Amino acid sequence: LSDAEIAAYRADRETSERRRKGGEGTVTEVAEAESRLQLARAGRADAIDRLSVAILRLETMTGKSMAPLWRLRPDFTPGAVQTVSLDQWSALAEESSPEIRARRKSYEFASLDVDRNRAGHYPQLDFVARASRTQGETLSTVDQRNVINSVGVQLNIPLFAGGRVNALTGQAVANRERARAELDAAVNEVLVEVRRQFMAVETGGSKIAAYQKAVDASVVAVEGTLRGMR
């Protein structure tokens, strides 16, 4: 489309220049035609930049080079695209997105860390087993060997730890809230991108058809301008 616009505006500028030299046109008409031509060239440069970015993103997603990417045939007609609903796209993205899954695991870990620190207030019952073996080292006990085995339980009841448990629990809660905020932000970002891509699929066919009509109209305009110059 940009190439067709440039061709049309170039022909329009040449016509304006010819009319000015023939005494029928004005310098203002030539300047306006030149302005439209330069804007079309700037638009083409922007289109090339967007194409390069799109190809780079496609290569990043697929891990493959897009150098042999085929151009659309001149007679290409977009067909109807069968898509699932936006809600299905969104649900699949929330389930499969690596970013969301990583943030969700981070939140789960932070929640477990809160429980672990709160457990510092709870009594702790440990199973204890101990074994020792000694041998006499003096002249009177040189041949004596002692083997002691003991098994038991040990109950620790925390009374006061200088506020350490409360401080660690408060820090863990803050980390959990931050992880939750990061998870919500990741979900929102992914869902916005899903909606954008969904709408691109929904409207892509009509956009291609509209651009093709614009190209056809520009070609007709160029041909008409060239006939008028002869």
Q: What is the pLDDT of residues 18-46, one digit of tens each?
A: 777 777 777 787 788 888 888 888 888 88
Mean pLDDT of 189-200: 86
The verdict on residue 67 lying in a domain is yes
The proportion of the chain whose per-residue pLDDT surpasses 70, expressed as a percent, equals: 79
Provide the number of structural domains found in the chain. 1
Q: What value does the mean pLDDT take over residues 116-132?
A: 80
Least confident of 184-193, 204-213, 221-230: 221-230
As a whole number of angstroms, the longest Cα–Cα distance in the chain is 134
5: nearest Cα among 32, 38, 31: 38
* 7 belongs to a structural domain: yes
Domain extent at residue 224? 2-83+205-229
Give the closest residue to 171 by CA, choosing from 122, 123, 120, 125.
Answer: 120
* Mean pLDDT, range 161-165, rounded to an integer: 70
Work out the mean pLDDT of the chain and round it to a whole number.
79
The pTM assigned to this predicted structure is 0.52
Indicate whether 10 belongs to any domain. yes
Instruction: Please report, as a single letter, which amino acid is at residue 77.
Output: T
Query: Per-residue DSSP letters for 189-223?
Result: HHHHHHHHHHHHHHHHHHHHHHHHHHHHHHHHHHH
In this predicted structure, what is the pLDDT of residue 83?
64
Class of residue 137 by CB neighbours under 10 A (exposed 0-12, middle 13-18, buried 19+) = exposed
The reply to whether 156 falls in a domain is no
pLDDT for res 204: 75
Among 42-56, 91-105, 115-129, 168-182, the minimum mean pLDDT is found in 115-129
**144 lies in some domain:** no
The answer to which of 7-16, 154-163, 199-208 has the lowest mean pLDDT is 154-163
